[in-house]
Structure 1
Amino acid sequence: MTVDFIAVLVAGAAMGGFINGLAGFGTALFALGWWLQIMPPQQAVPVVLLMSVASGIQGCWIVRHAIRWRRLAMFLVPALFGIPLGLSVLDLIDADQLKLVIGGFMLLYGLFFAFRRTLPRYERPTPVIDGGIGFVGGILGATAGLSGALPTMWISLRGWTKEASRGVLQPYNMAVLGLSVSLLAMDGAYDRQTLLLCGGALVPTLLAAQVGILTFRRLGDATFRRLLIVLMLVSGGALLVRSLF
């Protein structure tokens, strides 16, 4: 590995770990933009999935009292059926396509949360929508580690506190991505080189996740949302510019 390669690997790990610690999701959104510059999707995605699980364990612990298992199951059970579909898509996608998908989702996130106050709130139970969102999240999670993308946007319309929202999102992501890691491992995705990359990314991911968790605890709900909007818009725009030009 060259110095430049290691620098990009560590930068992606730090960005991904921080956002996971801060928001309970987003490792892939922030890490893959870096890692797809130095490795193919078939290698970058297994690494980012494992780092998502590693950093997510810490986040699950801090919201363990906010987890409502029945509410979580409405999203998680359908997701289990979407994971095999997502893994089949991974073999068909290339780095440029995945960069555009990641950048597009980041811009969509930022714009969505910027205008969220003008959107309706849903207070009543919506089990069919919850299940559909969970299913698509399972596909996106296995394909690119984006299991939290649609659930985050949908849950934000429910008017829950940041702790209640994270009590669904963090264990949901952990379960989807953890199962994806297991299936990829059974398929031989974690060869010696990929495991070395995981080892190099692990420490900066975990340290940055701790910084993100500390930041999460200090922020109020409004400041938390504004910070996410800025991070998503700036990072998504920069990634799309690099991908297109």
Structure 2
Amino acid sequence: METTQWVALIVIVAFAGVIRGCIGFGFSGLVVAAGTLFLAPSQIVPMVALLEIAASLQMAKGIWAHIAWRPLSFLLLGTAVATPIGITALVLLPAELLRVAISGLILCLSLLLLSGWRYKGATGAFAYGTLGLFSGLCNGAAAVGGLPVAAFLAAANLPIAMMRATLVAFFFATDIIFIGVATHRGLYSSAMLFQSMIMLLPMLAGVIIGARLFKACDETQLKWGVIILLLTLSSVGLVKALSHYLV
């Protein structure tokens, strides 16, 4: 990478770290969306997974007591079952078409949240298991499995501390799986590990600042932050996917 690219990536990673530390998600989406403007996805995605693990470990002490363990277990079970199906869909269907469909769905749900709508249906094992299945499909097909989980937890009106903690734990587990697969496929070269090490400090600094913001903001402010972030990520994903057909 050139010097300007290093500087740009450091700024992006630090900013995304602030968002991750404050709200509990959005790091991958922000870094991938911005980083792939000047670097190949293969230079960004494996690094992001490693940094997500580090961010989760950094936040573990503060979020452990707030994790919703039972919903998390059903989420992870559904995700594990459906991710291979999503990968199969990626092979059989156009990738950009899948991204349009998924990003469009998340955008619609985000707009509903913006209007004040909240999900008042069942939130038991079946609901979270089904959500996990859908997340797995999205993860395998378009690498956006976290967005539907974040959107549903926001719609279910979970306390923000519980939502944030459960998302952090969910990403920790799914990123470990990703790293295992990526390592098997040879995506972690010495250059990739060096790049990840360089980005570790700005990311952790951002997470620390974000965690302090979380304590300083009230529940309403944080929930609005979640909705705005969902709108941003889904809109960016939709525009990028549609641009494939417009160019």
Whether TM exceeds 0.5 here: the answer is: yes
Which shifted more, 128-137 or 198-207?
128-137
For residues 235 and 172 of structure 1, the distance between their equivalents in structure 2, rounded to whole angstroms, comes to 18
From the superposition, tell whether residues 108 and 11 of structure 1 become closer, same or farther in structure 2 (CA, over 3 Å). Answer: farther
Larger deviation: 164-173 or 200-209?
Answer: 164-173
Q: Percent sequence identity over matched residues?
A: 22
Instruction: Give the aligned partner of residue 50 of structure 1.
Output: 50
| Counterpart in the other structure of 1:196 | 194
Gaps of 5+ in 2: none
**CA 1:240–1:208 in structure 2 vs 1: closer, same or farther (change >3 Å)?**
same
The CA deviation at 1:102 is: 9.6
- C-alpha RMSD of the superposition: 3.3
Q: SS where residue 224 of structure 2 aligns?
A: helix
Count of residues in Structure 1 that have an aligned counterpart in Structure 2: 243
Residue 74 in 1 paired to residue 77 in 2?
A: no
User: In structure 1, what is the equivalent of residue 36 of structure 2?
Assistant: 36
Calculate the TM-score normalised by the size of structure 2. Answer: 0.81
Q: 1:93 to 1:48 in 2, by over 3 A?
A: farther
Q: Tell me, yes or no, if the aligned pair for 1:42 and 1:90 is still in contact at 8 Å.
A: no
The AA in structure 2 aligned to 1:198 is S
User: Which whole-Å CA distance do the structure 2 matches of 1:80 and 1:242 have between them?
Assistant: 27
Retained in 1: the 8 A contact 2:95–2:141? no
Instruction: Name the structure 1 match of 2:224.
Output: 226
Superposed, which structure 2 residues align to 1:1-245 within 5 Å? 1-85=1-85, 107=107, 110-115=110-115, 117-122=116-121, 124-141=122-139, 146-233=144-231, 244=243
Q: Retained in 2: the 8 A contact 1:21–1:210?
A: yes
The whole-number CA distance in structure 1 between the counterparts of 2:33 and 2:109 is 15
What is the identity, as a one-letter code, of the residue corresponding to 1:54?
A
CA offset digits 1:193-221 (Å, max 9, x no partner): 22222122211111101111111111111
1:114·1:229 contact (CA, 8 Å) conserved in 2? Answer: yes
Report the Cα offset of residue 185 of structure 1: 1.1
TM-score if structure 1 supplies the norm length?
0.81
2:71/2:124 contact within 8 Å kept = no
Between stretches 33-42 and 233-242, larger displacement belongs to 233-242
Superposed displacement of residue 5, structure 1: 0.9
Partners of 2:195 and 2:146 in 1: how far apart? 24
Structure 1 residues 137 and 232, CA, compared in 2 at 3 Å: closer, same or farther?
A: closer
Offset of 1:8 from its aligned partner? 2.2
**Cα gap change, 1:232/1:86 in structure 2, threshold over 3 Å: closer, same or farther?**
same
Which stretch of the first structure deviates more once superposed, 40-49 or 23-32? 40-49
Q: 1:29 to 1:8 in 2, by over 3 A?
A: same
* Cα distance change on mapping 1:194 and 1:2 into 2, 3 Å: same
